[in-house]
Amino acid sequence: MAETTTTTTKHPLIGEVKGIIRTDESVEPHQGVRQYLGIQYATLKDRFAPAVLREYGGKTGVDATKIGPQTAPLPDGAAHEQDLIQHRLPSTGPIEFSDTDALNLNITYPIPTNREDFIWQSDNLLPVFLFIHGGGFQVGSASFPQYDMARFVRLSYQKGLPIVAVTVNYRLGPPGLLTSREMREQGYQANNCLRDQRMAIEWVRKFIGGFGGDPKNITLAGESAGAISCSYHLQSKTPLFKRVMLMSGTNLLIPPLPLKVAEQSYAGAVEALGLEGKSVEERMQRLKSIDAAELREKLMMIPLLPIADEELPVTSHTFADFYAGTSGGEVDIAGAHWCESMMIGDCAFDGNIQGLRLGHRKKGIGKAFCDAMKSSSLNSEQAEKLLKGYNIAPDLDDDTAFEKVLQTLNDIGFYAPTLAFAEGLSSRMKTYVYRFNEPNPWAGPWKGRTNHILDIAFLFQNFNEFLDDAQRSTAEAFAVSVFKFVTGEVPWEASGNKGGARVAMVMGPQGKGEVVEDVPGETGRRAILLDLAKEVEGGMDRLGEVLNGFLRGSPAS
């Protein structure tokens, strides 16, 4: 039976922080966690304003007994994301929204019993796992039940590898991404989503010591858009963290938009909001005052993504950059020189998530894809090899063709980038690769497939009651590997290079875990694009132009 009690911690910089202790008598030993929820890490003057690090003064204290508001006006966002996982957790009710008070974070800390007076010694601070959620920079919240870190942290203590876990909210959608020259001239910066995350990292480095975490031993982790964010933070010239974990996402999947495209998006937003002919001041006032849900709805079709930003920095890379780096060149990623190690991996069918963008084009997609490949910059032989490799033909039924198209998008967007990052960075930092292959056990279109976000459901232990013994074994083994990585240990035997060959930990199916050479035949991945890239001028980058062009609905590349 789970129990929750309140507790108060005296933080040297914040003052009294009221949190909760959660214990579960069904788990042996009856070890609990201490949680501090909804702590505001930055303040905002308005929804587009630069975030300002929260200062506390050490006098007023903080009530951190309940989750804070989310940054997207989507009260049912948690259930929507769980539907992508294909299983819902017990509802905790809608999560509140705030335009200006949602830059908050949650801290989960292990305690061996439910003693309120227990605290780790200041000379024995715990490693920190700082997690950035995904959601395409449009949706998501650190306070969704699937990101509750109580079980994850409890397990870390039980395995003798205790950590402190932190989850972070950051601005999404228009407030996180909309920018233009005139907005910047008014003091509104670009890339609020990434700047908020950077501010949260700064907050953790400054304040986590008072919660038992080691500010010098931070692992920044993220999934999907969160992983893409981590790859951008790895470009910082200033050291920000000790280790990084990229789960199903890199900046090769979502490169930053050029400034010119951002200006076009802003022009589209101005038109969608009926602000043509208005002054800059009038436009900004309307952008700041319009109802948040209405703003999101009216700008739904406007391309909004991180943009190229020299200040942060946020820059673009190509596949060629990473492969050139291993033959004498330098991959232009500053973090490769100050980040100690990287864990990177994917799910076998991450590409299913692109179905959200292609669903309206499903009818006749087999023929449309074949036509696009044959009219692309690939020559006829190369196009035919790609189509035959994935068994895509014009007369396939729509369901079959849809899945096979998503397989190609999986390989260019998720699988190939993990190979490139490992290839380009392993000579400069310790690199550990995993391949998650445990199939989805729940009813839905992707049952039996290892779909996007499924690794999150397993890693954080929140779906354990709905898994069988073998699946729970995979979930626990995955978590233990991450605990080892976060605490500076080798996450699995035979990690790194073995006999000159890079290896990967394959997790699943049915509880299986094995370290193998990181090649398609051993990891359950496909070699089609890898082989074709050797024949195509421009290699994987050209294939990316062609396949991502189809995804965007652009004319054949």
Tokens read off for 490:
């080798």
Task: For strands 126-132 and 104-111, give the pairing.
Answer: unpaired
- Classify residue 360 by its DSSP letter: G
What b-and-e string marks burial along 471-488, b requiring 16 or more CB atoms within 10 Å of the CB?
A: bbbbbbbbbbbbbbbbbe
- The CA-atom distances, in angstroms, between 205 and each of 61, 159, 192, 199 are 19, 26, 20, 10
Q: How far apart are CA 460 and CA 155, in angstroms?
A: 9
Nearest in space to 99 (alpha carbons), one of 297, 241, 289:
289
Provide CB contacts within 8 A for 53, sequence distance 6+.
41, 42, 199, 202, 203, 206
CB distance 69 to 101 below 8 Å: yes
User: How far is residue 167's CA from residue 514's CA, in Å, rounded to a whole number?
Assistant: 30
How far is CA 90 from each of CA 23, 376, 439, rounded to the nearest angstrom? 18, 47, 22
Structure tokens belonging to residue 155: 């397990």
| Tokens 């922080």 -> residue | 17
The DSSP-derived string for 531-556 is HHHTTSTTHHHHHHHHHHHHHHTPPP
Residue 243 · residue 152 · CB < 8 Å? no
DSSP 17: E
Q: Angle at Cα 500 formed by Cα 496 and Cα 506, nearest 5°? A: 45
Residue closest to 16 by CA, chosen among 54, 59, 55: 59
* Per-residue DSSP letter, 382: H
Q: Which DSSP string do the residues of 199-257 spell out, in sequence order? A: HHHHHHHHHGGGGTEEEEEEEEEEETHHHHHHHHHTT-SS---SEEEEES--TTTSPPB
Token pair, residue 478, equals 């995955």
Q: Is position 316 annotated as part of the catalytic site?
A: no
Cis omega (within 30 of 0) for bond into 215: no
In this structure, the number of other CB atoms found within 10 A of the CB of residue 176 comes to: 24
How far is 528 from 482, CA to CA, in rounded Å? 30
Phi, psi of 293 (to 5 degrees): -65, -35
Rounded Cα gap, residues 92 and 67, in angstroms: 11
Rounded CA gap, 341 and 236, in Å?
15
User: Of 224, 229, 248, 376, which residue is the catalytic one?
Assistant: 224
Q: Is 356 exposed, middle or buried (0-12, 13-18, 19+ CB in 10 A)?
A: exposed
Query: Catalytic residues, which ones?
Result: 224
